[in-house]
Amino acid sequence: MSHSPLSSSIADLRKSYERAELSEDASHADPLQQFDQWLREAIAAQVPEPNAMTVATVGSDLRPSTRVVLIKGYDARGIVWYTNYDSRKGRQLAGNPYAALQFHWVELERVVRIEGVVEKVSDEESDTYFHSRPLDSRIGAWASPQSQVIPSRGVLVANAAKYGAQFLLKPPRPPHWGGFRLRPDQWEFWQGRKSRLHDRLRYRLEDGAWERERLAP
């Protein structure tokens, strides 16, 4: 029995986008307010992991890489997430602080893209968040040499047992673990529409003010 190549069936996939619209009149002048509204709506709609975002960075070899992390805070200063500073993304950001974020709320037919410069959050912010995490996550931050090659999962289990015995219920924040904050200079909000005539609004920071403009889909 013959089967057609998977690539053929993928190419034939189609979706009609008809859930909502995004207009200049019905959007906020401040992109942070627009993001806040959309994130709250994604949470209210109970979409899977509405706080998940893709982080794209570029290494010294000019090769881009992506990974999914969880947003842990946002305000006028920027978008915050936490990680191991010695990880691949941490090392890439140390050499090139420019990054891009993307949220994709499939059920709402919405995408948000954010670009800007990344900096480390303060030690106080990292300490506060670290100590709010569950104990096993705090131990895990010590146990995992993130992005390094390890011979087996047994290394992680052994490390977790070692640091659990060492720190008991009060592991301190590892010096190599903490937060990053992306300070946006560009946002894009994408809303799926019928006939592939999607809505795209871009916000660019110009002389300290946000310039809003529509892009062709």
For the annotated catalytic residues, the residue numbers are: 196
- Quick one: three-class SS letters along the chain? CCCCCHHHHHHCCCCCCCCCCCCCCCCCCCHHHHHHHHHHHHHHCCCCCCCEEEEEEECCCCCEEEEEEECCEEECCEEEEEEECCCHHHHHHHHCCEEEEEEEEHHHCEEEEEEEEEEECCHHHHHHHHCCCCHHHHHHHHHCCCCCCCCCHHHHHHHHHHHHHHHCCCCCCCCCEEEEEEEEEEEEEEECCHHHCCEEEEEEEECCEEEEEECCC
